[in-house]
Amino acid sequence: MTSYASPVAPERKKSPDATPRSSPPVRGSAAIDPEFPALEAQLVPDETYSVELFFDDDSDTPVSFTEVSGLGSRSDIQERRFVDKVSGVENILKDPGALHYGEITLKQGINDSAILYAWRRQVELGNVQQKTGTIAIFAEGAILGVGYHFEDAWPSRWVGPRQVSSNTVIPIEEFTLVADSVTRKTLKRAAKK
């Protein structure tokens, strides 16, 4: 890290196309989506939730899961040091560095859907097919839910059932996806035909 003399702190670069954003109103610990303020009322503790995966380029029925984790992003922190010419005090500014998205882990009970396994198998054979899609989470009977739209993802890992015995209710499979980007959205459930 380079130190340099400067009478004032160096300015942070701003994106030329950045527009000021207002934060959504906050109630309790959850931010309310201004587009669908009723979403908060539909996401309640102790409710049964469904987790479904949809691909943008595929008309297959959604793949259902019992659990999803790893959704999120983080930025590396880059420190810049400078010394104030007047006071001689060294200061440190922290700027965002490289952006990383979490590894998305999806768990499901063993079933007759082999969509994700077939996709992972193609990666094992050297044929990496990146896909774009959405992971949708809805409370049972709710019209509004939360969606996590991912771009250019591929399955980096598959784990079969860890332990199977006669007492196991449903053996669980686990798939890990890595994506170039993940964005959060409010979703409205499509009407049933």
As a dihedral over the C-alpha atoms of residue 73, residue 63, residue 145, residue 139, rounded to 10 degrees, the angle is -120
| pLDDT band, very low/low/confident/very high, at 13 (cuts 50, 70, 90) | low
| pLDDT band, very low/low/confident/very high, at 170 (cuts 50, 70, 90) | confident
Inside any domain, residue 14: no
Inside any domain, residue 168: yes
Inside any domain, residue 3: no
CATH number at residue 146: 2.30.110.20
Inside any domain, residue 13: no
Inside any domain, residue 25: no
Q: How many domains does the chain have?
A: 1
Say yes or no to pLDDT of 24 above 60. Answer: no
Inside any domain, residue 7: no
Inside any domain, residue 1: no
**Residue 80: alpha-carbon gap to chain centroid:** 29
With vertex at residue 151, the alpha carbon angle to CA 73 and CA 177, rounded to the nearest 5 degrees, is: 70
Strand partners, 91: 82
**Structural domain range at position 52:** 30-188
Rounded to two decimals, the pTM is 0.69
Strand partners, 83: 5, 90
The closest alpha carbon to 119, from 152, 154, 148, 150, belongs to 154
Tokens 């939730």, residue?
49
The residue-averaged pLDDT of 30-41 equals 48
| pLDDT band, very low/low/confident/very high, at 127 (cuts 50, 70, 90) | very high
DSSP result, 69-90: E---EEEEEEEEEEEETTT--E
Strand partners, 31: 26
Strand partners, 82: 91
Say yes or no to pLDDT of 149 above 80. Answer: yes
Q: What is the DSSP letter of 140?
A: T
pLDDT one-digit tens code per residue, 71-95: 999 999 999 998 888 888 999 999 9
Query: Between the CA of residue 107 and those of 41, 76, 141, what are the distances in Å?
Result: 26, 29, 22
Query: Between the CA of residue 102 and those of 37, 68, 178, what are the distances in Å?
Result: 27, 12, 7
CA–CA gap between residue 20 and residue 157 (Å, rounded): 39
Beta strand 67-69 with 104-109 is: antiparallel
Inside any domain, residue 138: yes
